[in-house]
Amino acid sequence: MQNSESFIPLNFKELSAAESEKRITEFYSQCTTRRSVREFSDKDVPQHIIESIIKTAGTAPSGAHKQPWHFCAVKNPAIKSKIREAAEQEEYENYHGRMSKEWLEDLKKFGTDHIKPFLEIAPWLIVVFKEVYEQSEGGKATNYYVNESVGIATGMLLNAINMAGLVSLTHTPSPMNFLAEILERPKNERAYLLIPVGYPAEGTTVPDIKRKSLEEIMTIH
């Protein structure tokens, strides 16, 4: 039974079918422009825009409302340089032995290798951490559905970046333990994603690839 003292009215405004269709069509039109970018401009992005993007990600639902995420926004050139150096070391190992032949073959269409200059060029790096457990003065507490919760928040983060007129890349130089070390994060946090954020470099190109059709990703029962 709900305790009425711990609940507040839902802030909800019902839309007409026409307005609902208009909004989702406009939102989809914006979302479908999102592409992963590896060629960044060094043009500055104001900090308040990054803060608004992260606030948006923080509205995501989470298991038992534990909100098991932390976002490190990195602008300091010296720290970005350390991150690039460590990431490239891991990526070298990935491209020269860790990755399977099939994996390397699947990556060919993207033209990638272990060299990652965008980690220093992009004005911001957003490092997403997942809190594998809750840490407080009283000790440890359980966080629930951590990967699912952080995954949803990251999806909202990427859409917020796109809605702000910026570009990004979901970078995973696995293993990513070096990020917690460089950024001096607590023991309960694990790096989840490394996301360069900024404007595309002039003349940026992206692979000519297509998304799956609606018929391929949806079944109505």
For the chain, which residues make up each domain, given as ranges? 36-206
92: pLDDT strictly greater than 90: no
pLDDT of residue 1: 58
Residue 170 CA to residue 123 CA, distance in Å, equals: 15
What residue type is assigned to position 50 of the chain? I
Quick count: other Cβ atoms within 10 Å of Cβ 161?
A: 25
9: pLDDT strictly greater than 90: yes
Mean pLDDT of 9-29: 97
Confidence of residue 167 (pLDDT cuts 50, 70, 90): very high
pLDDT of residue 42: 97
E strands, the chain, are: 69-74, 124-131, 133-136, 139-142, 167-168, 189-198
* Percent helix / strand / coil, the chain, rounded to 5: 40, 20, 40
Architecture of domain 36-206: 3-Layer(aba) Sandwich (3.40)
Q: Which region among 57-71, 89-103, 151-165 has the lowest average model confidence (pLDDT)?
A: 89-103
Mean pLDDT of 193-209: 96
Mean pLDDT of 29-55: 97
Mean pLDDT of the chain, nearest integer: 95
Residue 170 CA to residue 193 CA, distance in Å, equals: 7
31: pLDDT strictly greater than 90: yes
123: pLDDT strictly greater than 80: yes
193: tokens are 């994603």
